[in-house]
């Protein structure tokens, strides 16, 4: 039996990470202009948030319809701290992530007791609240008009939004780190506990897993992923509006998880890539864009219910004896 690519994909940590690194390294050869780089960077940033959300939805089986709230808090936290208050961007990013982690911890304790639709409603409410606060705190956030964000500078090196190559490299490295951390977590006692409580909460709890604690852990971890992605997006874009915090963005993130493949870390990247890149390349059909996206989503749910990446891998495996 041929060793690559099947074995590679079957060993997600070693083979998968190497394959992803290779793709990320080769991609600039195909990206022929600044626009392509721009799309790739946006895909990478979205993918980081989606990988985190997939830990919550795909692995632990808990829903969040308010994750754009955490994404937005990271974005506005970085914007306000580094812009208004002149903090170094890296410090602003870390401080925002810490604040988001604290908020997720405090909010998560009461609402993660809820299940299914109730949890969906509670997280939806949480997202709407964050949206309202950001939209109404005009003095701090600029309100509905948004606010500008200074460029990213790391260790004295300034990365302007126009510096596509450097941004691409940064996002690629961070994406690899995000995947590595997620894969480590999934294949750890914490990750096994999460997958276990997804399958049977009752069996997990009598087996010694503190179910409430583990739901809270993954909620906080996924919030931090979103916050970091938000901070970076804000610096890259140079300008943010409450749209980044809104309900539609939360839905978009969940759609990326489902489309790419639940409980598939690499699938999260595929989901982000499709939903971010496709509209960019469908501009010729601009008026029909939502129709096409909707059709793709419906087709995917009918023919590849497990999501794009796991679905396609299943098909490939089924073809081979």
Partner 1 sequence: MTILAVEDLCKDFGGVHAIQGLSFQVRAGSIHSIIGPNGAGKTTLFNLITGLYAPSRGRIAFLDEPIAGQPPHRLAGMGLLRTFQNLQVFDTMTATENVMVGRHLHILRGLVPSLLRLPGIVRSDRDARERSLQLLDFVGLSAYADMPAGAMPYGALKRLEIARALAGEPKLLLLDEPAAGCNATETKEIDTLIQRVAAAGITVVLVEHDMSLVMGISDHILVLDYGRKLAEGTAAQIRANPAVIEAYLGTEGADAVPLAADAG
Neighbours of 214 (CB within 10 A): 22
What is the C-alpha to C-alpha distance for residues 266 and 211, in angstroms, rounded to an integer?
26
How near is the Cβ of 217 to partner 1 at its closest, in Å? 6
What is the C-alpha to C-alpha distance for residues 261 and 304, in angstroms, rounded to an integer?
9
Nearer to partner 1, 126 or 262 (CB): 262
Nearer to partner 1, 70 or 87 (CB): 70
Nearer to partner 1, 148 or 200 (CB): 200
Nearer to partner 1, 6 or 192 (CB): 192
What is the C-alpha to C-alpha distance for residues 244 and 76, in angstroms, rounded to an integer?
10
User: What is the radius of gyration, based on Cα positions, of the chain?
Assistant: 19
What is the C-alpha to C-alpha distance for residues 17 and 83, in angstroms, rounded to an integer?
35
Place of tokens 């890296």: 90
How near is the Cβ of 198 to partner 1 at its closest, in Å? 8
Nearer to partner 1, 110 or 208 (CB): 208
How near is the Cβ of 252 to partner 1 at its closest, in Å? 26
Peptide bond into 318 cis (omega under 30): no
C-alpha distance across the termini of the chain, in Å: 9
Which residue ranges make up the site for partner 1 (CB under 8 A)? 181, 184-185, 187-193, 195-196, 198-200, 202-211, 217, 221, 263
Nearer to partner 1, 84 or 213 (CB): 213
H-state helical runs in the chain: 6-10, 17-30, 34-54, 67-78, 89-111, 116-136, 138-141, 164-186, 189-199, 201-206, 211-237, 247-260, 265-281, 289-303, 308-319
How near is the Cβ of 187 to partner 1 at its closest, in Å? 8
Nearer to partner 1, 13 or 278 (CB): 13
User: Nearest CA to 54 among 181, 201, 209?
Assistant: 181
CA torsion sign, 17 to 22 to 23 to 24?
positive
Q: Determine which helix (DSSP H) or strand (DSSP E) holds 239, and give its type and residue range.
A: strand 239-240
How near is the Cβ of 30 to partner 1 at its closest, in Å? 32
How near is the Cβ of 307 to partner 1 at its closest, in Å? 14
How near is the Cβ of 10 to partner 1 at its closest, in Å? 11
């Amino acid at each position: 039996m041929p060793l690559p690519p099947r074995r590679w994909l079957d060993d997600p940590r070693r083979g998968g990470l190497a394959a992803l690194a290779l793709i990320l390294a080769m991609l600039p050869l195909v990206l022929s202009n600044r626009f392509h780089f721009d799309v790739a960077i946006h895909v990478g940033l979205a993918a980081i948030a989606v990988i985190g959300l997939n830990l919550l939805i795909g692995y632990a089986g808990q829903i969040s319809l308010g994750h754009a709230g955490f994404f937005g808090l990271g974005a506005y936290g970085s914007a306000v701290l580094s812009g208004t208050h002149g903090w170094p961007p890296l410090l602003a990013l870390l401080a925002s992530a810490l604040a988001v982690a604290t908020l997720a911890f405090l909010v998560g304790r009461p609402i993660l007791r809820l299940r299914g639709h109730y949890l969906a409603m509670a997280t939806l409410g949480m997202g709407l609240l964050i949206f309202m606060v950001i939209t109404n705190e005009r003095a701090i956030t600029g309100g509905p008009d948004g606010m500008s964000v200074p460029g990213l500078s790391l260790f004295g090196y300034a990365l302007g939004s126009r510096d596509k190559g450097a941004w691409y490299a940064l996002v690629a490295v961070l994406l690899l780190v995000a995947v590595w951390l997620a894969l480590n977590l999934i294949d750890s006692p914490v990750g096994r506990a999460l997958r276990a409580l997804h399958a049977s909460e009752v069996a997990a709890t009598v087996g010694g897993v503190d179910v409430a604690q583990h739901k809270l852990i993954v909620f906080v971890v996924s919030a931090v992923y979103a916050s970091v992605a938000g901070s970076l997006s804000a610096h890259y874009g140079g300008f943010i509006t409450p749209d980044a915090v809104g309900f539609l963005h939360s839905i978009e993130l969940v759609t990326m998880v489902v489309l790419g493949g639940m409980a598939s870390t690499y699938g999260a990247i595929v989901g982000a890539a499709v939903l971010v890149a496709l509209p960019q390349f469908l501009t010729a059909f601009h008026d029909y864009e939502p129709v096409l996206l909707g059709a793709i989503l419906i087709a995917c749910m009918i023919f590849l219910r497990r999501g794009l990446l796991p679905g396609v891998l299943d098909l490939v495996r089924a073809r081979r004896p």
